[in-house]
Chains A and B, each alone.
Chain A
Amino acid sequence: MDLAIAALLCMVGGIVAGLIGVGGGIIFVPAMTILLSKGQVEAESTSLLMIALVSVVGTWRQRSYGNVNLRDAAMIGLLSPVGVLVGVVIANAVPERALKLGFAALALYMAWRLLKRVFKEEPPAPAPADGPPMVDVPGS
């Protein structure tokens, strides 16, 4: 029964991933810790595997809607290994409580940034797919 509820929650996580582009770990992790009694680190690690697969399908769908800048995505993804390494080492060295408080602080800061945007008057200029939204100076 708990597995069925966890599966249902993970479907919701997938919907959230498609809607807001976050992979779904924010829901996968609590689904596993609360319903399946996984430890925080084990749930987070398993969630990463799920996120990778969900993101492949999500990217394929978003690409069909013209919503993926593959060049920027590749740049961000390929330049992230150092950060990943640092994060994984910290996750195994720092107490879970500290990790959770750190995550909470990050989440609140990002929420504030987005709410500022939602309640701003003028709409933002749309950026083209597969073209740099910032001005590129040729030859610079």
Chain B
Amino acid sequence: MDKRRIWSLAAVGTVAGAFSGLFGVGGGTVIVPMLIAFFAYGERLATGTSLAAIIVIALLAAGMQGGIYGNVDVETGMILVGPAIVGVVFGTALQQRIPEKAVSLLFAILLVGVAIYMVIP
């Protein structure tokens, strides 16, 4: 792996990590578009690789928020994660059956919705 690529991936990791700590979204919001825009990834490969990177990033951030600041509600998290896991199995299966650009379109729509929600006081 050449140095430029390593530095680029390091930049993606750092930015994703910062946003993960800031917004609690695991970094995928940053990783997926960056992999598509700067690394010529297709949508499916970008989303799969993003999920794998998020495991490490989210564990680190959750560990810090829980261990240092005591902000993690483990009981609520464990109750809500069951249906979320059922959802992710269904979502990955569904993704294989739709066009790749539809993934980008869905991503963009969701991002605009989130932005509107965040701006409304």
B22 & A22 in contact (Cβ 8 Å cutoff): no
B21 & A49 in contact (Cβ 8 Å cutoff): no
A77 & B71 in contact (Cβ 8 Å cutoff): no
Chain B's interface size range is 35 or more
B51 & A117 in contact (Cβ 8 Å cutoff): no
- Binding site of B, secondary structure by majority: helix, strand, loop or mixed? helix
Known: A15-B94, A140-B2. A107 touches B86 (CB 8 A): no
Which chain A residue shows the least CB distance to B82? A7
**Which residues from chain A contact B111 at a C-beta distance below 8 Å?**
107-108, 110-111, 114
List residues of B (63-81) whose CB comes within 8 Å of A's CBs.
64-66, 68-69, 71-74, 76-77, 79-81
Contacts A7-B79, A45-B69, A103-B118 known; 8 new A-B pairs at CB < 8 A:
A14-B84, A17-B51, A49-B74, A62-B48, A69-B41, A73-B49, A76-B31, A104-B118
Interface of A toward B, CB cutoff 8 Å:
3, 6-8, 10-26, 28-32, 36, 38, 41-59, 61-63, 65, 67-92, 97, 99-108, 110-115, 117-118, 123-127, 129, 132-134, 136-137, 140
Interface of B toward A, CB cutoff 8 Å:
1-3, 5-6, 9-10, 12-33, 35-37, 39-42, 44-62, 64-66, 68-69, 71-74, 76-77, 79-96, 101, 103-112, 114-119, 121
